[in-house]
Amino acid sequence: MLDKVKELITEVESFNATTANEIETFRIKYLGSKGIIKDLFTEFKNVPNEQKKEFGQTINLLKNSAENKVTTLKEVIENAVEEKGVYGDLTRPSEPIELGSRHPISLVKNQIIEVFNRIGFTVSEGPEIEDDWHNFTALNLPEYHPARDMQDTFFIEKNPDTLLRTHTSSVQVRYMEQNEPPIRTISPGRVFRNEDISARAHCIFHQVEGLYIDTDVSFADLKQTLLYFTKEMFGKSKIRLRPSYFPFTEPSAEVDIYWGLETETDYRITKGTGWLEIMGCGMVDPNVLKNCNIDPTKYSGYAFGMGIERIAMLLYQIPDIRMFYENDVRFLEQFKSVI
Ligand code: DAH
């Protein structure tokens, strides 16, 4: 009897199959509810007591080896099916193609570029690591000028100063040094300031700088260009220019757009006034033109600068600036439909 079971074990171990049907027949033969192993367990009660232990152990061995055989053969067959054809089942639905999304900062930057391209502005760029001349001195901010404190700077090296640019106005200087008027250019880019990080401010953010130099450029030209921009960008047609101060422009102004109170649900967007500050601007200071080898008696021009994050937050109702830099896909995925 025991020998018969041992024989069965050898039989099971040497069994091989190439199709799922063959495996199933094998499984039913040995492990099925009317199978060989079931019968052996029934016979177990007729085995004399002194042989019970060994007999029981051997049947269990047979059972385990039959079960193992079924699992390994099934795996072999499944892998073989996968390897069989590159195409597999042609009627199977295809793998979904995941679409990526552009970052909201890129979306808004591209939109701004497009609006200004339509009225003849080209795009220019400059380095993020700047020298003192392009970031400060040429922009009418000589050493020890108190207005340097308006922008807390990350210095890389002292003497000569190397720093992370605090604004994209540095690109104005580079562009004027290398190009003759007429000049119409916008310069998007990343800027850095040593500021505490909060929901409204970050030490890394993005700006777009605008520069227009030609003969007879007036403040009215500036205002009209900005009005065109706010209409195209936000669909808002009321702006106001408040007198302000920037060392590189004279006169200088802060631009507010009338946003209205319809979206003012939490008093945070316009603080209940309806007006919203979106950029700084002004007529390029003659000293700056001179520093860049442009004759201020012949040419005049305007400049403006705005923060991209601020505009993106407004357009997409993003409550916290930190969301732009966390790369949380749940946030980024929401921009899939925007191109
Ligand atoms: N550079 C200024 C800043 O970062 C923004 C600015 C204001 C740029 C007025 C300009 C301008 O070109 O004319 O705060």
| Best of 241, 281, 289 for a ligand 1 pocket test (most atoms within 8 Å of beta carbon) | 281
Contact 61, 55 (CB under 8 A): no
**What's the 116 CA to ligand 1 centre distance in angstroms?**
17
Confidence at 43, pLDDT banded by 50, 70, 90? confident
pLDDT of amino acid 310: 93
Residue 259 has pLDDT above 90, yes or no: no
Handedness of CA 58, 62, 63, 67 (dihedral sign): positive
- Phi then psi for residue 332, to 5 deg, are -65, -35
Candidates 232, 227, 233, 224; CA nearest to 311 is 233
Confidence at 148, pLDDT banded by 50, 70, 90? confident
Residue 268 has pLDDT above 80, yes or no: no
pLDDT of amino acid 273: 85
Confidence at 209, pLDDT banded by 50, 70, 90? very high
- Helix segments in 191-261, DSSP class H: 219-234
Q: Are strands 183-192 and 122-123 parallel, antiparallel or unpaired?
A: parallel
Give the nearest ligand 1 atom to 172 CA.
12
Predicted confidence (pLDDT) per residue in 306-337, tens digit: 999 999 998 998 989 999 999 999 999 999 88
Average pLDDT over residues 270-285: 91
- Residue with the smallest CA separation from ligand 1 atom 12 is 304
Average pLDDT over residues 251-262: 91
Name the average pLDDT for the chain: 91
CA quadruple 155, 157, 159, 164: dihedral, nearest 10: -40
Residue 303 has pLDDT above 90, yes or no: yes
296 or 76: whose pLDDT is higher?
296
**What's the 118 CA to ligand 1 centre distance in angstroms?**
22
- Residue with the smallest CA separation from ligand 1 atom 6 is 305
- Residue with the smallest CA separation from ligand 1 atom 8 is 305
Residue 261 has pLDDT above 90, yes or no: no
Quick count: other Cβ atoms within 10 Å of Cβ 132?
Answer: 20
Residue 127 has pLDDT above 90, yes or no: yes
Confidence at 238, pLDDT banded by 50, 70, 90? very high
pTM of the model: 0.73
**What's the 167 CA to ligand 1 centre distance in angstroms?**
7
| Best of 121, 139, 169 for a ligand 1 pocket test (most atoms within 8 Å of beta carbon) | 169
Bridge partners for 304 per DSSP: 210, 281
Judge residue 168's burial from the number of C-beta atoms within 10 Å of its C-beta, 0-12 exposed, 13-18 middle, 19 or more buried: buried
Q: Which two tokens stand for residue 57?
A: 């152990």
Residue 194 has pLDDT above 80, yes or no: yes
Percent of all residues in the chain with a pLDDT value above 70, rounded to a whole number: 96
Which amino acids bring their CB within 6 angstroms of ligand 1?
167, 169, 209, 246, 249, 280-282, 303-305
Helix (H) or strand (E) holding 289: helix 286-291
pLDDT of amino acid 158: 81
Give the nearest ligand 1 atom to 249 CA.
13
330 or 52: whose pLDDT is higher?
330
Helix (H) or strand (E) holding 309: helix 308-316
